[in-house]
Structure 1
Amino acid sequence: MDSGAHEIDVVVNVGKVRSGEWAYVRGELEGVNAAVVERGGVVKVIFENDFLGQEEIAELARVCGEVGVGWVKTSTGFGFVKMGEGVGAYGYRGARGRDIKVMRENCGAARIKAAGGVRTLDEMLWVMMLGAERVGATATEEILEEARRRGVGDEMAECEFVVPEREREEGV
């Protein structure tokens, strides 16, 4: 903060969340949030949703809302998990609609950033429709090109989109 930062990303202690040590998680987030807010900044708490169940995501969102953090964020983009059997069967799901929906339902006034796995305009519009106000994407150039091709510009306008297949499969 002293070097000019206005926002601080904090990765939650996933081990403490998974262990259900909510008093520890709350205390840690309260301390960080107080220190950052005191200096005029905003905290974004990164959940690493690929490692968490829906109940854990809901409770963590509630804690973040009660603590008063500015933002909750789905992931760092580096959380690979075992996706199947065999050597190299690791993958990364990233921002998923069901997680964003649970975060929105429980995080109070905190805003949501969807990060990881958003690679198309349809995926971006989908997570925004579910409550994300920011999107972190490595495919920004491709998303902007697709938006231009589909007539999305600087003015507010309706834009049709297709719910991403992975979201349809999960029934969000």
Structure 2
Amino acid sequence: MNFTVAQIAKMIDHSILRPEFTVEDVRSGCAVAAKYDVASVCVRPCDVPTAVSLLRDTNVRVGTVIGFPHGDSATQIKVTETELAVDQGATEIDMVLNIGWLRSGDINAVENEILSVVKAAGEAHVKVILETAYLTDEQKLAACWAAERAGAAFVKTSTGFAPTGATVDDLALMRSAVSAAVQVKASGGIRTLDTMLAMAAVGVTRFGTSATAEILEDLARRQVNVPGGRA
């Protein structure tokens, strides 16, 4: 599978989510996103206005997280978070589903909550974070099916705050569970170009990572010796 640097960049959501990040860290992260023209930044809810302002004259979308990282906020809180984020200019919404409800087998409650967030998001893309580290394969499948029925644009593996993150096996399972109308996002432990390429090979189209510069510079170096500028 061959990609240019620009193509890989447009598969990246540059992650700026660590709790200790300062305002200057957020500004620096947005500068990286703008430099490489990635798909989006994914920032903390409090940072949405800053990111929107910094990226207004770029092609980089601004996304944020909802119910992050545990997924256990009340549904109305998730809805309100979503409405505020969209009002402030976010166009991508990464929500953590209610992991406890899913593990309890209450799929209707999980689906209804996702639907509420999708409605609140309007035209913004909703990505449903499963937090696969805590789920059986059957629960992962049920979550993917619920997310698609509720109108989500993506299903996503992880927050990056659980014991483990994305795996190729989980991503292949998620890709098999949803139709072509739903994309798959890998997040959690995406640090290298080779990891991205292996995951793209099973159908992943978006990646959450903070290693954007390292990944894209690695690809640029490899392309120097590849005829046609692809690797």
Q: Same fold (TM over 0.5)?
A: yes
Deviation at 1:63, TM superposition (A): 1.0
Deviations 1:32-80 (A, max 9, x none): 111212xx21211111111111111111111111111111111110112
TM-score by length of structure 1 reads 0.77
Of 86, 90, 97, the match for 1:12: 97
Aligned residues of 1:63 and 1:107 also touching (Cα < 8 A):
no
What percent identity do the matched residue pairs reach? Answer: 41
Counterpart of 1:139 in structure 2 is: 211
Residue 210 of structure 2 is aligned to residue 127 of structure 1? no
Deviation at 1:156, TM superposition (A): 7.4
Give the total of aligned pairs: 143
CA distance in 2, matches of 1:156, 1:41: 34
Change (3 A) 1:114 1:156: farther
Higher relative helix content: 2
Deviations 1:100-145 (A, max 9, x none): 1111111222111101111111100011111111111222222122
Of 161, 173, 197, the match for 1:102: 173
The letter for the 2-side match of 1:35 is: A
Counterpart of 1:26 in structure 2 is: 111
CA distance in 2, matches of 1:156, 1:25: 45
CA RMSD of aligned residues (A): 1.7
Aligned residues of 1:65 and 1:106 also touching (Cα < 8 A):
no
**Structure 1 runs not aligned, ≥5 long:** 81-92, 160-172
CA distance in 1, matches of 2:92, 2:209: 18
Structure 1 runs (4+) deviating above 2 angstroms are none
Report the secondary structure of 1:147's partner residue.
helix
The letter for the 2-side match of 1:148 is: A
TM-score by length of structure 2 reads 0.58
Report the secondary structure of 1:131's partner residue.
coil
CA distance in 1, matches of 2:166, 2:111: 23
CA distance in 2, matches of 1:3, 1:148: 35
Counterpart of 2:153 in structure 1 is: 70
Residue 197 of structure 2 is aligned to residue 115 of structure 1? no
CA distance in 2, matches of 1:63, 1:12: 10
